[in-house]
Structure 1
Protein backbone atom coordinates (compact mmCIF):
# COMPACT_ATOMS: atom_id res chain seq x y z
CA UNK A 1 0.00 0.00 0.00
CA UNK A 2 1.41 3.38 -1.02
CA UNK A 3 1.12 6.10 1.60
CA UNK A 4 1.10 9.66 0.31
CA UNK A 5 1.64 12.85 2.20
CA UNK A 6 -1.25 15.32 2.62
CA UNK A 7 0.46 17.65 0.11
CA UNK A 8 0.55 14.88 -2.51
CA UNK A 9 -3.07 13.98 -1.86
CA UNK A 10 -4.20 17.50 -2.79
CA UNK A 11 -2.32 17.60 -6.09
CA UNK A 12 -4.29 16.67 -9.20
CA UNK A 13 -3.17 13.47 -10.93
CA UNK A 14 -1.88 15.53 -13.87
CA UNK A 15 0.45 17.50 -11.58
CA UNK A 16 1.76 14.31 -10.02
CA UNK A 17 2.38 12.81 -13.48
CA UNK A 18 4.20 16.00 -14.55
CA UNK A 19 6.31 15.88 -11.39
CA UNK A 20 7.10 12.20 -11.98
CA UNK A 21 8.00 12.89 -15.61
CA UNK A 22 10.30 15.76 -14.67
CA UNK A 23 12.08 13.70 -12.04
CA UNK A 24 12.46 10.59 -14.20
CA UNK A 25 13.77 12.70 -17.10
CA UNK A 26 16.26 14.27 -14.68
CA UNK A 27 17.36 10.80 -13.57
CA UNK A 28 17.94 9.78 -17.19
CA UNK A 29 19.93 12.95 -17.98
CA UNK A 30 21.98 12.59 -14.79
CA UNK A 31 22.87 9.00 -15.65
CA UNK A 32 21.06 7.62 -12.63
CA UNK A 33 19.01 5.62 -15.14
CA UNK A 34 21.58 4.86 -17.87
CA UNK A 35 20.74 3.52 -21.33
CA UNK A 36 19.56 -0.08 -21.25
CA UNK A 37 18.24 0.09 -17.68
CA UNK A 38 14.96 -1.74 -17.19
CA UNK A 39 12.44 0.68 -15.69
CA UNK A 40 9.83 -0.60 -13.25
CA UNK A 41 6.91 1.62 -12.31
CA UNK A 42 6.59 0.09 -8.85
CA UNK A 43 10.23 0.81 -7.91
CA UNK A 44 10.15 4.31 -9.35
CA UNK A 45 6.86 5.09 -7.58
CA UNK A 46 8.38 4.01 -4.29
CA UNK A 47 11.57 5.96 -4.95
CA UNK A 48 9.63 9.11 -5.87
CA UNK A 49 7.07 8.75 -3.08
CA UNK A 50 4.18 8.62 -5.54
CA UNK A 51 1.50 6.13 -6.44
CA UNK A 52 2.00 3.99 -9.53
CA UNK A 53 -0.67 5.79 -11.59
CA UNK A 54 1.18 9.10 -12.16
CA UNK A 55 4.45 7.21 -12.62
CA UNK A 56 2.86 4.98 -15.30
CA UNK A 57 1.51 8.11 -17.01
CA UNK A 58 4.96 9.70 -16.92
CA UNK A 59 6.61 6.57 -18.29
CA UNK A 60 4.11 6.46 -21.16
CA UNK A 61 4.87 10.07 -22.05
CA UNK A 62 8.63 9.50 -21.83
CA UNK A 63 8.29 6.48 -24.11
CA UNK A 64 6.34 8.66 -26.54
CA UNK A 65 9.15 11.21 -26.50
CA UNK A 66 11.75 8.51 -27.21
CA UNK A 67 13.47 8.46 -23.80
CA UNK A 68 12.21 4.94 -23.11
CA UNK A 69 11.76 1.93 -25.38
CA UNK A 70 8.90 -0.53 -24.90
CA UNK A 71 9.36 -4.19 -25.82
CA UNK A 72 6.08 -5.89 -25.00
CA UNK A 73 5.66 -5.16 -21.26
CA UNK A 74 9.28 -4.20 -20.57
CA UNK A 75 10.43 -0.57 -20.59
CA UNK A 76 14.11 0.28 -20.90
CA UNK A 77 15.94 3.57 -21.02
CA UNK A 78 16.82 4.32 -24.63
CA UNK A 79 20.55 4.22 -25.30
CA UNK A 80 22.13 6.98 -27.36
CA UNK A 81 24.79 5.88 -29.82
CA UNK A 82 27.68 7.91 -31.18
CA UNK A 83 25.84 8.08 -34.51
CA UNK A 84 22.73 9.43 -32.75
CA UNK A 85 24.81 12.19 -31.14
CA UNK A 86 26.42 13.12 -34.47
CA UNK A 87 23.00 13.33 -36.17
CA UNK A 88 21.63 15.44 -33.31
CA UNK A 89 24.61 17.81 -33.51
CA UNK A 90 24.27 18.17 -37.30
CA UNK A 91 20.60 19.03 -36.95
CA UNK A 92 21.24 21.33 -34.02
CA UNK A 93 23.92 23.22 -35.99
CA UNK A 94 21.36 24.04 -38.69
CA UNK A 95 18.57 24.97 -36.30
CA UNK A 96 20.75 27.08 -34.02
CA UNK A 97 22.13 29.15 -36.88
CA UNK A 98 18.62 30.10 -38.00
CA UNK A 99 17.51 30.68 -34.40
CA UNK A 100 20.48 33.00 -33.81
CA UNK A 101 19.64 34.91 -37.00
CA UNK A 102 16.06 35.40 -35.81
CA UNK A 103 17.18 36.45 -32.34
CA UNK A 104 19.86 38.90 -33.53
CA UNK A 105 17.59 41.89 -33.91
CA UNK A 106 15.20 41.04 -31.11
CA UNK A 107 17.40 40.63 -28.05
CA UNK A 108 17.31 43.53 -25.61
CA UNK A 109 20.44 45.50 -24.78
CA UNK A 110 20.05 44.44 -21.14
CA UNK A 111 19.96 40.74 -22.04
CA UNK A 112 23.01 41.15 -24.29
CA UNK A 113 24.89 42.84 -21.44
CA UNK A 114 23.91 39.99 -19.08
CA UNK A 115 25.12 37.40 -21.58
CA UNK A 116 28.38 39.24 -22.18
CA UNK A 117 29.04 39.50 -18.44
CA UNK A 118 28.26 35.81 -17.90
CA UNK A 119 30.57 34.73 -20.72
CA UNK A 120 33.37 37.11 -19.75
CA UNK A 121 33.09 35.79 -16.20
CA UNK A 122 34.32 32.45 -17.49
CA UNK A 123 37.57 33.67 -19.09
CA UNK A 124 39.73 32.04 -16.41
CA UNK A 125 39.06 28.27 -16.56
CA UNK A 126 40.27 27.89 -12.96
CA UNK A 127 37.27 29.94 -11.87
CA UNK A 128 34.67 27.90 -13.79
CA UNK A 129 32.92 25.02 -12.08
CA UNK A 130 30.95 22.38 -13.93
CA UNK A 131 27.68 23.87 -12.64
CA UNK A 132 28.68 27.39 -13.63
CA UNK A 133 29.62 26.25 -17.14
CA UNK A 134 26.21 24.64 -17.68
CA UNK A 135 24.35 27.54 -16.08
CA UNK A 136 25.97 29.98 -18.52
CA UNK A 137 25.44 27.55 -21.40
CA UNK A 138 21.73 27.37 -20.55
CA UNK A 139 21.55 31.16 -20.23
CA UNK A 140 23.08 31.70 -23.67
CA UNK A 141 21.06 29.07 -25.52
CA UNK A 142 17.76 29.79 -23.82
CA UNK A 143 18.19 33.54 -24.32
CA UNK A 144 18.73 33.03 -28.04
CA UNK A 145 15.78 30.65 -28.26
CA UNK A 146 13.51 33.05 -26.38
CA UNK A 147 14.58 36.08 -28.43
CA UNK A 148 14.05 34.21 -31.70
CA UNK A 149 10.30 34.40 -31.19
CA UNK A 150 9.91 30.77 -32.23
CA UNK A 151 8.07 28.85 -29.52
CA UNK A 152 9.56 25.55 -30.67
Structure 2
Protein backbone atom coordinates (compact mmCIF):
# COMPACT_ATOMS: atom_id res chain seq x y z
CA UNK A 1 0.00 0.00 0.00
CA UNK A 2 1.42 3.38 -0.99
CA UNK A 3 1.55 6.33 1.38
CA UNK A 4 -1.20 8.02 -0.66
CA UNK A 5 -3.49 5.07 0.05
CA UNK A 6 -2.86 5.04 3.80
CA UNK A 7 -5.55 5.55 6.42
CA UNK A 8 -3.58 8.48 7.90
CA UNK A 9 -3.65 10.38 4.60
CA UNK A 10 -7.38 9.74 4.11
CA UNK A 11 -8.04 10.77 7.69
CA UNK A 12 -6.39 14.15 7.05
CA UNK A 13 -8.30 14.57 3.78
CA UNK A 14 -11.71 13.79 5.25
CA UNK A 15 -11.06 15.86 8.37
CA UNK A 16 -10.09 18.83 6.19
CA UNK A 17 -13.40 18.51 4.31
CA UNK A 18 -15.30 18.51 7.61
CA UNK A 19 -13.35 21.41 9.12
CA UNK A 20 -13.65 23.43 5.91
CA UNK A 21 -17.40 22.91 5.64
CA UNK A 22 -17.31 20.82 2.46
CA UNK A 23 -18.90 18.05 4.52
CA UNK A 24 -21.46 19.97 6.62
CA UNK A 25 -23.26 18.82 9.77
CA UNK A 26 -25.67 16.00 9.00
CA UNK A 27 -23.80 14.87 5.87
CA UNK A 28 -23.82 11.08 5.49
CA UNK A 29 -20.36 9.62 4.87
CA UNK A 30 -20.49 6.48 2.76
CA UNK A 31 -17.30 4.44 2.41
CA UNK A 32 -17.85 3.67 -1.28
CA UNK A 33 -18.59 7.27 -2.26
CA UNK A 34 -15.68 8.68 -0.27
CA UNK A 35 -13.27 6.06 -1.61
CA UNK A 36 -14.28 6.98 -5.16
CA UNK A 37 -13.97 10.70 -4.44
CA UNK A 38 -10.51 10.25 -2.91
CA UNK A 39 -9.37 7.72 -5.50
CA UNK A 40 -8.47 5.01 -2.99
CA UNK A 41 -9.79 1.67 -1.76
CA UNK A 42 -12.46 1.41 0.94
CA UNK A 43 -10.11 -0.01 3.59
CA UNK A 44 -8.16 3.19 4.43
CA UNK A 45 -11.40 5.18 4.26
CA UNK A 46 -13.03 2.80 6.74
CA UNK A 47 -10.07 3.16 9.12
CA UNK A 48 -10.08 6.93 8.74
CA UNK A 49 -13.81 7.14 9.54
CA UNK A 50 -13.32 5.02 12.66
CA UNK A 51 -10.62 7.42 13.86
CA UNK A 52 -12.80 10.46 13.16
CA UNK A 53 -15.60 8.83 15.15
CA UNK A 54 -13.24 8.33 18.10
CA UNK A 55 -12.46 12.04 17.97
CA UNK A 56 -16.22 12.77 17.93
CA UNK A 57 -16.11 14.63 14.63
CA UNK A 58 -18.64 12.16 13.21
CA UNK A 59 -21.26 9.83 14.70
CA UNK A 60 -22.04 6.22 13.81
CA UNK A 61 -25.73 5.77 12.93
CA UNK A 62 -27.79 3.04 11.28
CA UNK A 63 -27.41 4.65 7.87
CA UNK A 64 -23.63 5.00 8.34
CA UNK A 65 -21.35 7.71 9.64
CA UNK A 66 -22.81 11.22 9.86
CA UNK A 67 -20.98 14.51 10.40
CA UNK A 68 -21.80 15.63 13.91
CA UNK A 69 -24.27 18.48 14.39
CA UNK A 70 -22.89 21.17 16.68
CA UNK A 71 -24.62 23.10 19.45
CA UNK A 72 -23.97 26.28 21.46
CA UNK A 73 -23.55 24.10 24.55
CA UNK A 74 -20.70 22.25 22.89
CA UNK A 75 -18.95 25.51 22.03
CA UNK A 76 -19.11 26.42 25.72
CA UNK A 77 -17.76 23.01 26.70
CA UNK A 78 -14.86 23.26 24.28
CA UNK A 79 -13.96 26.76 25.46
CA UNK A 80 -14.32 25.85 29.14
CA UNK A 81 -11.77 23.07 28.68
CA UNK A 82 -9.54 25.37 26.65
CA UNK A 83 -9.76 28.05 29.34
CA UNK A 84 -8.62 25.56 31.98
CA UNK A 85 -5.69 24.32 29.90
CA UNK A 86 -4.54 27.57 28.34
CA UNK A 87 -4.73 29.56 31.55
CA UNK A 88 -2.48 26.88 33.04
CA UNK A 89 -0.17 27.35 30.03
CA UNK A 90 -0.03 31.09 30.69
CA UNK A 91 0.91 30.52 34.33
CA UNK A 92 3.52 27.93 33.36
CA UNK A 93 4.97 30.28 30.73
CA UNK A 94 5.48 32.92 33.42
CA UNK A 95 7.68 30.41 35.23
CA UNK A 96 9.25 28.53 32.30
CA UNK A 97 9.60 30.91 29.35
CA UNK A 98 13.10 31.30 27.93
CA UNK A 99 14.51 34.46 26.37
CA UNK A 100 13.78 32.96 22.96
CA UNK A 101 10.15 32.31 23.98
CA UNK A 102 9.76 35.90 25.15
CA UNK A 103 11.35 37.21 21.97
CA UNK A 104 8.89 35.19 19.88
CA UNK A 105 5.87 36.43 21.84
CA UNK A 106 7.12 40.01 21.71
CA UNK A 107 7.72 39.85 17.95
CA UNK A 108 4.21 38.54 17.26
CA UNK A 109 2.64 41.02 19.68
CA UNK A 110 4.43 43.96 18.05
CA UNK A 111 3.52 42.87 14.53
CA UNK A 112 -0.13 42.44 15.52
CA UNK A 113 -0.22 45.92 17.06
CA UNK A 114 0.75 47.45 13.71
CA UNK A 115 -1.12 45.01 11.47
CA UNK A 116 -3.86 46.47 9.25
CA UNK A 117 -4.57 43.36 7.18
CA UNK A 118 -7.48 41.39 8.62
CA UNK A 119 -6.41 37.92 7.47
CA UNK A 120 -2.86 38.44 8.70
CA UNK A 121 -4.20 39.65 12.04
CA UNK A 122 -6.15 36.41 12.42
CA UNK A 123 -2.99 34.43 11.59
CA UNK A 124 -0.99 36.39 14.16
CA UNK A 125 -3.60 35.66 16.80
CA UNK A 126 -3.16 31.93 16.17
CA UNK A 127 0.64 32.25 16.13
CA UNK A 128 0.59 34.08 19.45
CA UNK A 129 -1.34 31.33 21.20
CA UNK A 130 0.94 28.69 19.71
CA UNK A 131 4.00 30.59 20.93
CA UNK A 132 2.47 30.83 24.40
CA UNK A 133 1.90 27.08 24.51
CA UNK A 134 5.47 26.46 23.44
CA UNK A 135 6.68 28.73 26.24
CA UNK A 136 4.78 26.66 28.82
CA UNK A 137 7.02 23.65 28.11
CA UNK A 138 4.18 21.16 28.48
CA UNK A 139 3.73 18.94 25.43
CA UNK A 140 0.64 17.19 26.77
CA UNK A 141 -1.28 20.44 27.25
CA UNK A 142 -0.18 21.63 23.80
CA UNK A 143 -1.44 18.45 22.12
CA UNK A 144 -4.78 18.63 23.91
CA UNK A 145 -5.17 22.29 22.94
CA UNK A 146 -4.36 21.44 19.32
CA UNK A 147 -7.23 18.94 19.35
CA UNK A 148 -9.61 21.53 20.75
CA UNK A 149 -8.44 23.89 18.02
CA UNK A 150 -9.65 21.47 15.36
CA UNK A 151 -13.11 21.40 16.95
CA UNK A 152 -13.21 25.19 17.01
CA UNK A 153 -12.30 25.34 13.31
CA UNK A 154 -15.36 23.22 12.54
CA UNK A 155 -17.55 25.88 14.13
CA UNK A 156 -15.87 28.57 12.02
CA UNK A 157 -17.24 26.87 8.91
CA UNK A 158 -20.75 26.82 10.39
CA UNK A 159 -21.21 30.43 11.45
CA UNK A 160 -21.03 33.88 10.00
CA UNK A 161 -18.19 36.08 11.15
CA UNK A 162 -18.30 37.41 14.68
CA UNK A 163 -19.93 40.83 14.66
CA UNK A 164 -17.34 43.62 14.81
CA UNK A 165 -14.58 41.04 14.44
CA UNK A 166 -11.82 43.61 13.94
CA UNK A 167 -12.80 45.28 17.22
CA UNK A 168 -12.77 41.88 18.92
CA UNK A 169 -9.30 41.17 17.55
CA UNK A 170 -8.05 44.52 18.82
CA UNK A 171 -9.48 43.83 22.27
CA UNK A 172 -7.80 40.43 22.20
CA UNK A 173 -4.53 42.06 21.19
CA UNK A 174 -4.68 44.32 24.25
CA UNK A 175 -5.24 41.27 26.43
CA UNK A 176 -2.33 39.48 24.77
CA UNK A 177 -0.11 42.41 25.71
CA UNK A 178 -1.24 42.22 29.34
CA UNK A 179 -0.59 38.47 29.46
CA UNK A 180 2.84 38.95 27.91
CA UNK A 181 3.67 41.62 30.46
CA UNK A 182 2.73 39.24 33.28
CA UNK A 183 4.86 36.47 31.75
CA UNK A 184 7.78 38.85 31.36
CA UNK A 185 7.50 39.77 35.07
CA UNK A 186 7.15 36.13 36.13
CA UNK A 187 3.67 36.84 37.54
CA UNK A 188 1.99 33.46 37.03
CA UNK A 189 -1.29 34.33 38.75
CA UNK A 190 -1.90 37.49 36.72
CA UNK A 191 -1.04 35.62 33.52
CA UNK A 192 -3.56 32.93 34.47
CA UNK A 193 -6.43 35.25 35.42
CA UNK A 194 -5.93 37.50 32.40
CA UNK A 195 -6.01 34.48 30.08
CA UNK A 196 -9.24 33.32 31.72
CA UNK A 197 -10.80 36.73 31.10
CA UNK A 198 -9.49 36.80 27.53
CA UNK A 199 -10.84 33.40 26.51
CA UNK A 200 -14.12 33.84 28.40
CA UNK A 201 -14.84 36.95 26.33
CA UNK A 202 -13.96 35.08 23.13
CA UNK A 203 -16.20 32.17 24.15
CA UNK A 204 -19.19 34.46 24.65
CA UNK A 205 -18.64 36.12 21.26
CA UNK A 206 -18.44 32.74 19.51
CA UNK A 207 -21.56 31.39 21.19
CA UNK A 208 -23.48 34.53 20.25
CA UNK A 209 -22.29 34.35 16.62
CA UNK A 210 -23.25 30.67 16.37
CA UNK A 211 -26.72 31.26 17.79
CA UNK A 212 -27.39 34.25 15.51
CA UNK A 213 -26.25 32.34 12.44
CA UNK A 214 -28.42 29.31 13.17
CA UNK A 215 -31.43 31.48 13.99
CA UNK A 216 -31.05 33.09 10.56
CA UNK A 217 -30.87 29.65 8.92
CA UNK A 218 -34.07 28.52 10.66
CA UNK A 219 -35.86 31.67 9.50
Counterpart Cα distance in 2 of 1:134 and 1:49: 34
Alignment-derived partner of residue 134 in structure 2:
146
Residue 34 of structure 1, CA deviation: 1.2
The answer on whether the counterparts of 2:101 and 2:134 sit within 8 Å (CA) in structure 1 is: no
More helix by share: 2
Residue 71 in structure 1 maps to residue 61 in structure 2: yes
Residue 76 of structure 1, CA deviation: 0.4
Residue 10 in structure 1 maps to residue 9 in structure 2: no
Counterpart Cα distance in 2 of 1:121 and 1:12: 38
Alignment-derived partner of residue 90 in structure 2:
100
Alignment-derived partner of residue 5 in structure 1:
none
Residue 116 in structure 1 maps to residue 99 in structure 2: no
Residue 37 of structure 1, CA deviation: 0.8
Counterpart Cα distance in 2 of 1:98 and 1:42: 44
Counterpart Cα distance in 2 of 1:147 and 1:10: 38
2:109 counterpart SS class: helix
Choose 27-36 or 44-53, whichever is displaced more: 44-53
The answer on whether the counterparts of 1:122 and 1:128 sit within 8 Å (CA) in structure 2 is: no
**Change over 3 Å in CA distance of 1:47–1:83 after alignment to 2:** same
The answer on whether the counterparts of 2:104 and 2:131 sit within 8 Å (CA) in structure 1 is: no
TM-score of the superposed pair, with normalisation by structure 2: 0.57
Give the alignment's Cα RMSD to 1 decimal: 2.1
Q: Which runs of 4+ in 1 moved over 3 A?
A: none
| Number of residue pairs matched by the alignment | 140
**Change over 3 Å in CA distance of 1:110–1:148 after alignment to 2:** closer
Residue 86 in structure 1 maps to residue 76 in structure 2: yes
Alignment-derived partner of residue 3 in structure 1:
none
**Change over 3 Å in CA distance of 1:121–1:76 after alignment to 2:** same
The answer on whether the counterparts of 2:25 and 2:70 sit within 8 Å (CA) in structure 1 is: yes
